[in-house]
Amino acid sequence: MKLHIDFPRLRRDLTELGAIGRTAEGGVSRPSFSEADMRARRWLLDRIAAAGLAARVDAAGNIFARLGGDGPAVMVGSHLDTVPNGGTLDGALGVLAGLECLRRIRELGLPLRHPLELVAFTDEEGRFGGFFGSYALTGALTPGDIPGIKDTQGERIVDVMARHGLDAMQAPSARRDPAEIRAYVELHIEQGPVLEANRVPIGLVEAIVGIHRIGVTFHGRADHAGTTPIPDRKDALLGAADLIRRGRDLVLAEGTPASRLTVGVVQVKPGVANIVPAEVFLTYELREVSAEMLRELAAESRALIAEVAEAAGLTASVETILDIPPVPLADAVKDAILAATKELGCAYMRLSAMAGHDAQVIGRVAPAGMIFVSSKDGRSHSPLEFTADDEIERGANVLLLTLHRLAADGGS
Ligand code: HGY
Ligand code: MN
Ligand code: MN
C-alpha cells in the first residue's frame, strides 16, 4: 500500500482551526496578530507538541517544527493568518497538511536523509503589507523598514507585536542562511477557476504572479458642500474616481489577460457628507506574471496618477507598499511533485499562481514549489471558499509523497 496521510486527523485539524476567528457569515477573520491569530498560533503550538515535535518561534513570529537532525531542511508550510472574513483553507491547508506529513512520517518511522521542517509564516495576507515572516526569513526585511510598517488603520507593527510581548525590531534576526533550505513546498487551494474548469484535481505551479501594490494619496481642499461651486473645488475623491476608472482602462488596453488591477481600500477625509473631500488614500494593486509587463504597467500607472491629479487640481503622493516580482518555481521541486502525482496516478496540469504566496519569497533564495487543489467556483478571500474533502486528501497525499522524495531519496 502506498504512503498516505491520515485524512480524518487532518480533517479534524482543519475544522478546529477553522473555528478560530469564525465570523457570522461562516468565514474566518484572523488578521495577523489579532486575538484570533494569536489563538490560532497557540492552538498550532499545542498540535505540534501533541505530535511529539518541538516547536520554535522566531523573532518575526514564524512558527517552526522540525523532524530529523541537522543540515539543510526540506521545508513545508504556508500561513495561519487570513483576510477579514476569508475562507478556512487559504493558508491553513498548507500548514496543517504539512504538519500531517511530518506526523505521518514520524509515526511510520520512515528514515530521512534530510530533515523536514514545518513553517507557519507571519502576516502573509498583508495586514502589515504582507510576507512579513518570509521576508524576515530570507533577509529581505531591514531594520529601517520596520518602524514605518502599519496597517490601514494606522496601527504600527511595532506597537501591535509589543502588545503580544514581541519586539518587531528584532525580526531581521529571523534571517536564515538560504543554504539551510534544501527545498520549500507549499500546498494551497488554487483560489481561481482553472483546475475546476479543466476537471483536473492537481495543479503543478510553474510561476507565481508578481505584485506591485502602492498607496496613493490625493490631496485636495475641504470646502462647504453648499456654498462652493463645483468648478471651484479641489475634490480629492474626484481624482480617486478618475484613477480607478482610467487605471482599469489602462490595464485592459495595455496589459495581458493575466494582468490585474484592484483598488481595495479607499479612505476619504474628513468623510463628512457636507464637506468636499480634502484627502483620499487608496491602495492600487497591479499583478502580472510577466516581470516586464508589471514594470510597464507600474510606470504607466504612475504617469496616470500625476495626470488625473493635475486635471482635478490636486497633488498626489505615492508610497510603495509591496513590490514583489513574479517568480518561476524550481525544476527540482516541480519534478518531485510530478513524480508524486504519477505515483498516485492522478491527473495534473501546469498553471500559474495568480495569488501571492510565501513560496514566491522563499523561491527567490532557495528551490521552491507549489501544489494546487481546485477551488469550487474559483472562490477565495470569501466565506464561500470551498474544496471537497477528497480533493484535499489527494492534494495532501501528493504533498506527502513529494516531501518524502525530497527528504528521503533526494541524493547527497
Ligand atoms: O493577496 C494574495 O494574493 C494572497 O492571498 N495573500
Ligand atoms: Mn489569501
Ligand atoms: Mn494563502
CATH code: domain of residue 275: 3.30.70.360
Residue 166 in domain: yes
- φ and ψ of 348, to 5 deg: -145, 165
Same domain, 250 and 194: no
Cell digits for 298? 507600474
Please choose from 28, 89, 124, 322 the residue to mutate so as to test ligand 1's pocket, defined by most ligand atoms within 8 A of CB.
Answer: 124
pTM for this one?
0.94
CA distances from 16 to 28, 44, 387 (A): 12, 10, 17
- Kindly give the number of the ligand 1 atom that is closest to the alpha carbon of 287: 3
Same domain, 268 and 382: no
Looking at the structure of the chain, the number of domains it has is: 2
Q: Out of 324, 346, 376, pick the residue that ends a domain.
A: 324
The closest residue, in CA terms, to atom 1 on ligand 1 is 356
**57 forms bridges with which residues in the sheet?**
63
Q: H-type helices in 181-290, by residue range?
A: 194-198, 236-254
Residue 47 in domain: yes
Please choose from 285, 357, 358 the residue to mutate so as to test ligand 1's pocket, defined by most ligand atoms within 8 A of CB.
Answer: 357
Q: Out of 303, 324, 345, pick the residue that ends a domain.
A: 324
Structure letter (DSSP) for residue 152: T
pLDDT value, residue 338: 98
- CA of 353, nearest ligand number: 1
Q: H-type helices in 60-189, by residue range?
A: 92-107, 132-138, 157-163
pLDDT value, residue 2: 79
CA distance 346 to 393: 12
| Domain range for 120 | 7-209+326-408
pLDDT value, residue 385: 98
The C-alpha cell 498560533 sits at: 41
CB 281 within 8 A of CB 217: yes
CB 147 within 8 A of CB 172: no
Residue 1 in domain: no
Residue 203 in domain: yes
CA distance 243 to 263: 10
Q: Out of 296, 324, 352, pick the residue that ends a domain.
A: 324
Determine the distance from the C-alpha atom of residue 326 to the mean position of all C-alpha atoms in its chain, rounded to a whole number.
Answer: 13
pLDDT along the chain (412 residues), means of 10: 92 98 98 98 98 97 97 98 98 99 97 98 97 98 95 96 97 98 98 98 98 98 98 98 98 97 98 98 98 98 98 97 96 98 97 97 98 98 98 98 88 40
Name the helix (H) or strand (E) containing 402.
Answer: helix 389-408
Cell digits for 151? 496597517
- CA of 82, nearest ligand number: 2
CB 114 within 8 A of CB 68: yes
The closest residue, in CA terms, to atom 6 on ligand 1 is 125
pLDDT value, residue 411: 43
